[in-house]
Amino acid sequence: MKKTVLNQAHQRHGARLVEFGGFEMPVWYSALTEEHHAVRTRAGVFDLCHMGRFEVVGDDPVAALDRVLTRDVASMKKGQVCYSLVCKEDGGVLDDILVYRLPDRWWLVVNAGNRDKLLPWFAEHLTGAKIIDHSESLAMVALQGPLAARLLAPHIERPKGRSLETLGYYRVGAATVNLTGTPLPGWISRTGYTGEDGFEIYVDSEHAESVFDALLQLSDDVQPCGLGCRDTLRLEAGMPLYGHELSEESDPISAGLEFGVGLNKTTAFIGQAALQEIHTAGPTRQLRGFTVEGRRPARQGASILHEGRIVGEVTSGSPSPTLGVPIACGYVEASLAEDAPLQVDLGRQTPDLKAHPLPFYRKDAEKVN
C-alpha cells in the first residue's frame, strides 16, 4: 500500500488509517461527525497528496487535451480551473478530473485510484503532447470551511499584491506560501469538494508536513479531517465520487453532469458520438437524490424498488450530519416519475425513499428544500 508524504503527520495527530485508492489514508482523527461540522462551520485540513498531479507538455497541449477531454479546453482563460471528464469511445467514464490553466502551463488533477490507469491511456491517446507525473514531487493540501479565506489570507502572497480573497471560485494562480517561517513558492486554487469555500495549496513535497502542521496551528477553529467527513460533505453537496456515481460502465449524461460535456465542441473528443446519442435519445437511467425513511442509511449497491420490482441501485448513502437524516444517491429507471413511490432493500427492511433535489446542501443555505 502506498503512503503519502503526510503519512507520519497523520500518525502524529492520531488518525485512524485505512486503504483508499491504493493509499493508506486517514478516515478520521477524532470523529466523522465532529470533523464534518468543523468544515461546515469553521475550517478543516485535508491531505490530498494521494491524488494525481499531471503536467501536460508539448507543441500544442490545448489541441491535444481537447481531443481527450469532454470540456472545451481551448475556451479556458488563464487562471481558470475546469471540471471535465475522460471518457471511452462508448461514453463510459475513465475519470472525472480538474483541468488547470496556469499562465505558462497546463495541469490535470486526477483521482488517486485512476492515476495508474490514466498514465498509459494518455500516453496512447494524447496526440501531440505528453504527461509529466508530478504526483510524488508536488504536494497538495486543502483548507476547507467558511473561515478558510480569513485564516489563510495573511499567509499567502500573490503577484501584484493581489489578496487571497480576490482569487475567484474555480481559479488558480501562483503564490508564495508564508506558513512555515520560510517563504515557499507554489500555487493556490479555490475549488473544494466539500460544498464549502476552500483552498488547495501546492508546494514541493519536502515542505508538505510543515505546511500541514502550520495550517493546524492557524487557529483553534482548525482541525485535521479525514476521508470519512470528506465523503459525507461531498455527498451533501451532490458531488460525484468515482467508483460510486461514476465508472467505466456509467456515462456523464445519466449522472446529471451534462454541464461538464461540450457536445457542441468544434474539436471532437473521445466518446462524443456516444454521448450525443445518449443526449438525443435520453438516458435510460438517471442519478437522483433521496432521503431515507428511518435512521438506517442505504449503502452502495442496495437495490431500489418500485412496486416490488428492482428499478435501480444506490451509489452512495450515509447519515447526513447537516440534515439529520439518512441521504442517498442512486441510479433509477429514467421513465419513473420523480414522485414515484420507491423503497430501498436493506435486507430485513425496505424503507421508503423520498425524492430530494441535488444538492442536499448549499453553503448559502443550510439545506436545499
pLDDT at 166: 96
Local structure of residue 114 (DSSP, 8 states):
G
pLDDT at 364: 74
Q: What is the pLDDT of residues 92-108, one digit of tens each?
A: 999 999 999 999 999 99
**DSSP per residue over 75-127, as a string?**
GPPTTBEEEEEEE-TTS-EEEEEEEEEETTEEEEEE-GGGHHHHHHHHHHH-T
Given a cut of 80, is residue 143 above it in pLDDT? yes
pTM, entire model:
0.96
Distance CA 186, CA 340 (A): 51
Grid cell at residue 82: 475546469
Q: What is the pLDDT of residues 181-225, one digit of tens each?
A: 999 999 999 998 999 999 999 999 999 999 999 999 999 999 999
Given a cut of 90, is residue 85 above it in pLDDT? yes
pLDDT at 369: 32
Strand order in the sheet with 184-189: 156-157, 172-177, 184-189, 198-204, 138-144, 43-47, 222-224
For the segment 247-257, the average pLDDT, to the nearest whole number, is 98
pLDDT at 145: 98
Average pLDDT of every residue of the chain: 97
For the segment 334-352, the average pLDDT, to the nearest whole number, is 97
State the Cα angle at 93 between 269 and 97, rounded to 5°.
80
Grid cell at residue 255: 449522472
Residue 263: phi and psi, rounded to 5, are: -65, -25
Provide the percentage of residues in the chain whose pLDDT is more than 70.
99
Q: Quick one: which of 89, 45, 24 has its CA closest to 225?
A: 45
Distance CA 186, CA 206 (A): 12
Asked if 16 and 28 count as a contact pair (C-beta separation under 8 A), the reply is yes
Given a cut of 60, is residue 14 above it in pLDDT? yes
- Residues near 259 by Cβ (< 8 Å), separated by ≥ 6? none
Strands 156-157 and 172-177, sheet pairing: antiparallel
Domains, the chain, ordered by start: 2-51+137-235 (3.30.1360.120), 52-133 (3.30.70.1400), 284-369 (2.40.30.110)
Grid cell at residue 248: 467505466
pLDDT at 76: 97
For the segment 339-347, the average pLDDT, to the nearest whole number, is 97
For the segment 220-240, the average pLDDT, to the nearest whole number, is 98
Distance CA 326, CA 297 (A): 5
For the segment 275-296, the average pLDDT, to the nearest whole number, is 98
Q: Which residue is listed with cell 478516515?
A: 27
